[in-house]
């Protein structure tokens, strides 16, 4: 069983990953500022802000896998890029694998084409999308020596506004976006978490992947 830290483990994405990983018997520690409304039995919940000195290092220490499921919103807007950079430096020192949850708009419509973020992103999501793409590009271009990293982009229709249903199915692709049979792109929170925890256990991919249903 792996020791897994989930940063933002009470949020939409982090909460599903915490539930899925704990249900399989992994040793899960969740980090957030507030206590969870519905704690998952067996999960160790730590209340801390990643803007506090030393909080990022404390979350990485002793872990096999660190899942970054924070969002660059609120007080983390403009800060998450730096936190991912800190995680990238700290993870190899601890021998931990780093899994970063990003956005759909970091994917590309075709090989060599600009990322979706360079196109028509709704104004409400633009800053968030751009920050996660900067974090991705820092990993792609200057990952610290020895870092084992995975950046996971969900489907276009994904999030707390579209929770969907657990089907037990998902598809993993590379940095070029996949599409459903009808040309859409969606995944439920439960299926996305299933994919992330399967990937933690199987360790089949490295770099940037996308997950759709």
Q: Name the residues that contact ligand NAP, by CB under 6 A.
A: 8, 10-14, 31-34, 49-51, 69-71, 75-76, 101-104, 128, 132, 154, 156, 158-160
Shortest approach of ligand NAP to residue 213 CB, angstroms?
13
Q: Which of 122, 132, 208, 116 is nearest to 161 (CA)?
A: 122
Of 76, 72, 140, residue with least CA distance to 102: 72
Provide the minimum distance between the beta carbon of 55 and ligand NAP in the complex, in angstroms, as a whole number: 7
Nearest approach, Cβ of residue 7 and ligand NAP (Å): 7
Residue 15: how many other CB atoms lie within 10 Å: 24
Minimum distance from CB of 130 to ligand NAP (Å)?
11
Nearer to ligand NAP, 49 or 179 (CB): 49
Nearer to ligand NAP, 71 or 139 (CB): 71
For ligand NAP, give the closer residue by CB, 14 or 92.
14
Sign of the alpha-carbon torsion through 125, 129, 132, 134: negative
User: CB nearest ligand NAP: which residue?
Assistant: 11
Q: Which is nearer to ligand NAP, 156 or 188 (CB)?
A: 156
**In the complex, least distance from residue 89 CB atom to ligand NAP, rounded to whole angstroms:** 18
Which SS3 state, helix, strand or coil, does residue 191 take? Answer: helix
- Which pairs count as long-range contacts for 198-201, CB under 8 Å and 24+ apart, including other chains? 199/99, 199/150, 199/152, 199/172, 200/2, 200/4, 200/21, 200/26, 200/65, 200/67, 200/97, 200/99, 201/2, 201/24
Alpha carbon distance 56, 61 (integer Å): 9
Q: Pick the closer one to ligand NAP by CB: 44 or 95.
A: 44
């Amino acid at each position: 069983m792996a020791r897994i830290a989930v940063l933002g483990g009470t949020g939409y994405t982090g909460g599903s990953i915490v539930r899925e990983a704990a249900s399989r018997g992994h040793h899960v520690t969740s980090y957030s500022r507030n206590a969870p409304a519905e704690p998952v039995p067996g999960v160790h919940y730590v209340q801390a802000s990643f803007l506090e000195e030393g909080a990022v290092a404390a979350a990485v220490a002793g872990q096999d896998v660190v899942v970054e499921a924070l969002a660059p919103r609120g007080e983390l807007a403009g800060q998450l890029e730096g936190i991912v950079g800190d995680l990238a430096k700290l993870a190899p020192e601890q021998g931990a694998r780093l899994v970063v949850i990003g956005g759909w708009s970091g994917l590309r419509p075709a090989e060599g084409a600009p990322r979706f973020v360079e196109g028509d992103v709704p104004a409400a999501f633009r800053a968030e999308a751009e920050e996660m793409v900067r974090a991705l590009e820092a990993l792609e271009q200057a990952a610290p020596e020895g870092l084992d990293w995975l950046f996971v982009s969900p489907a276009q229709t994904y999030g707390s506004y579209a929770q969907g249903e657990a089907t037990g199915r998902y598809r993993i692709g590379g940095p070029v976006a996949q599409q459903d049979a009808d040309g859409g792109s969606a995944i439920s929170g439960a299926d996305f978490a299933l994919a992330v925890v399967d990937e933690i256990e199987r360790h089949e991919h490295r770099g940037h992947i996308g997950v759709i249903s």
